[in-house]
Amino acid sequence: MTTQTPDNPLDTPAQFVRGAGPQRGELLKKLDIHTVRDLLWHVPRDVLDLTDVRQPDELVEKLEQTVRGEVVDVDAKQVSGGRTITAALLDCGGDYVRGVWFNQPWMRKRLMMGSKVLFTGKPKRHQGRWEFGHPQVQWLDDDDSGEGVGLLPRYGLTEGLRMHELRRMTQNAAEDFAEFIPDALPQSFRQKLKLPALNMAVNGLHLPSSLDEYERARHRILFDDLFEFQLALALRRRAWKREDDAPVMQTTAKIDARIRRLFPFRFTDGQDAAIRDVVADLQSGTAMHRLLQADVGAGKTVVAVYTMLVAVACGYQAVLMAPTELLALQHAETIETILENSRVKRVLLTGSLSAAQRRDTLAAIASGEAELVVGTQAVIQKDVKFAKLGVAVIDEQHKFGVVQRARISAGDDNPHVLVMTATPIPRSLCLTQFGDLDLSLMTDLPPGRQRVVTSRITGEGAKQKAWDFVKNQLASGRQAYIVCPLVKGDESNEDKPRGADVIYERVVKALPDFRVGLVHGQMDRKERAVVMDDFRDGELNVLVSTTVIEVGVDVPNATLMIVLDAERFGLSQLHQLRGRISRGSYQGYCFLFSESSAPDAAQRLHALESTADGFRIAEVDFEIRGPGDVLGTRQHGEMPLRVANLTRDIKILDEARREAFAVVDSGEFDTPEFAPLKREVLERFGRLMDLPQSG
């Protein structure tokens, strides 16, 4: 078989690596490995250190050591206080050691009989045998014999490809092709950060002679991935900062007082601080690109309305874009309440307008008659022409995506853009998905807001107590939400979540003395609005719903949140739901009904019980589920990273961001020394981030 030799040896198809061949080449494609370059940058998931594996008779107390063996017995039992002890017996070539874990019952399922594992920890003698308390466990593959080997990189695999085969291919690729790897990082920069040359790093990744060499090599590969991305963010931010055609809006004391009079309460310290940030941006002459991140209930809408009213007061139009029609309608209702006696002309633009309504609305926007516009993605369609757009507010931006955010700045105007979210975002995502934005945080809540008492409910006895409590609260005049994960469930299958339609029928029968309503996303919008209004007005005591009440719903008398099949919801989503209650002067209670025994479900629900801090909850959710699930980026474009992991590599991300913004802000990135790296960054991210190709 012949093939055309590529100009760059690194572009050689992976099947031509020694030890590969066409059949393994097809298997490699399942791992998204198509070329030698892909194979060389296939970072090991970890490295197995077999340089100091000891036999039981070689162990000493109080030193961290490793033993290797086969699981021959596993046992779990309950002790006083409902705690559990899980123990596993390891056969280490005829001699035995024991591993013990407290309150980790899931370890029993993970330590399968016959599994070959490593235990690492500080052993002690117990009843004549060595015992490891909470040892680190590494599961060995069939190929991890370790005979005559010190360090074994271990990779993600696909069915049909064995570990020793992939290990041999990556090692052969490193030996044969590492010399062709160019290094775009200037040598002086590498020396400053004590980074190895890139070809040496690739060798150290796949052929490490020591753990230190492996860690330094891995750091360099991950640093490059994050550094290039942060450079792109820094370039985009610099481009925005250099634009000087944004409207200048001078906020006077008179304008400030006039706006504040519209609100029947004093702003919190957090709201005042965010407003100061926004006002400084509006007066700067360069377009604002700011992320306002608020915890649930912190009052971000106040800042949004204030910002838009400043624009209107200065003679400009303002627009607020929400991800769903329901949320757009709720924003419009809130603004109508605030501006009830104001002369500001406002319109609502959504996809459900009739042709005549849409035509009239577009005409009002184009003429400038409409000063404040609220809508969905309909506001960034091509036929929407603003007369003088000054401010754009994008709510819950993670549900749109970077492209839509950029589109609102791509018209004839160069408006100030305020992105806001009440879904607390993990810090690593703030530094990546929102890394080109200036950041304002709001963590304080309005005065009088109480922390919601949160409990995980499992078992029939606990369920009955919870429902009795709910009935007593309803009888005293409070209101309750009952949230289900689906509109329609499969009642014939106990393992499937229950649907809101069936739960509604059950609740009506179980609570004959109370008025019960049902709302979900499949209902007609007007019908749904009637039900929501009845609940808000106190005509309904209980509202059975799906997550349509997740954001924007504000009923001060609602103090009870019952979430069924709570393990089916994300942690941040549960925090959002919890934020719907206790918005008045009464104590709120959130009951999370769950029978799941999955470890991550228990971990999530325990985190929600133990803290009301949305930012801490976001970090836990991110650690468990990853960025794609937390912010829905699986639907809106994954993080454009090759090998780095935002959960695992936060320290490297911090370093990469600090260095990237430093070299761009100082102008060093524009010097000939950085020219190869700049070309690489523009090739990789230029189109994705709409980066200027020069300057």
- Residue pLDDT, tens place only, 270-282: 999 999 999 999 9
CATH 2.40.50.140 is the classification of domain 51-139: yes
Instruction: Return the pLDDT at 41.
Output: 96
- Residues 99-108: what's their mean pLDDT? 88
Identify the CATH number of the domain defined by range 453-611.
3.40.50.300
Across 297-306, 348-357, 527-536, 606-615, least confident range: 606-615
Does the pLDDT at position 28 exceed 60?
Answer: yes
Task: Give the pLDDT mean for 566-574.
Answer: 85
Q: In terms of Cα–Cα distance, which of 332, 335, 322 is closest to 378?
A: 322
CA-to-CA distance for 378 and 404, rounded, in angstroms?
Answer: 11
pLDDT at 191 over 90: yes
Name the pLDDT band for 143 (thresholds 50, 70, 90).
low
Rounded average pLDDT over 557-570: 90
pLDDT tens readout for residues 304-318? 999 999 999 999 999
Coil, strand or helix at 87: strand
**Which pLDDT score is estimated for 639?**
60
Specify the residue for token string 């925005």: 240
Q: Which pLDDT value is given to residue 174?
A: 96
What are the structural domain ranges in the chain? 9-47+149-209, 51-139, 253-442, 453-611
Q: How much is the pLDDT for 338?
A: 92
Query: Which residues 6+ apart lie within 8 Å of 623 measured at CB?
Result: 647
Is 1 a residue whose pLDDT tops 70?
no
31-45, 528-542, 632-646: which has the minimum mean pLDDT? 632-646
Q: Which one-letter DSSP state was computed for residue 263?
A: S
Q: Which CATH architecture has domain 253-442?
A: 3-Layer(aba) Sandwich (3.40)
- How large is the average pLDDT for residues 567-584? 84
Say what the pLDDT of residue 476 is: 94
The reply to whether domains 253-442 and 453-611 share a CATH topology is: yes
Paired residues of 394 in beta bridges: 321, 419
pLDDT band at 229 (very low <50, low <70, confident <90, very high): very high
Task: Say how many residues make up the chain.
Answer: 695
Pairwise CA distance, residues 122 & 100, whole Å: 12
Cross-strand partners of 54: 67
CA 689, 693, 695 angle in degrees (round to 5)? 110
What pLDDT, on the 0 to 100 scale, is given for residue 185? Answer: 97
Categorize the per-residue pLDDT at 125 as very low, low, confident or very high, splitting at 50, 70 and 90.
very high
Mean pLDDT of the chain: 86
Using the structure block, give the residue that is written with the tokens 């957090």.
270
Q: Give pLDDT tens digits for 489-544.
A: 666 555 566 788 889 999 999 999 999 999 988 888 788 888 988 998 899 999 99
pLDDT exceeds cutoff 70 at 148: no
Burial class (CB in 10 A: 0-12, 13-18, 19+), 361: buried
How confident is the model over 380-421, as pLDDT tens digits?
888 889 999 999 999 875 444 444 445 554 455 688 999 988
pLDDT > 90 fraction of the chain, expressed in percent and rounded: 51
Element (H, E) at 680: helix 675-685
Q: Return the pLDDT at 401.
A: 46
Give yes or no for residue 549 having a pLDDT over 60: yes
pLDDT on residue 248: 92
Query: With the C-alpha atoms ordered 394, 398, 404, 407, is the resulting torsion angle positive or negative?
Result: positive
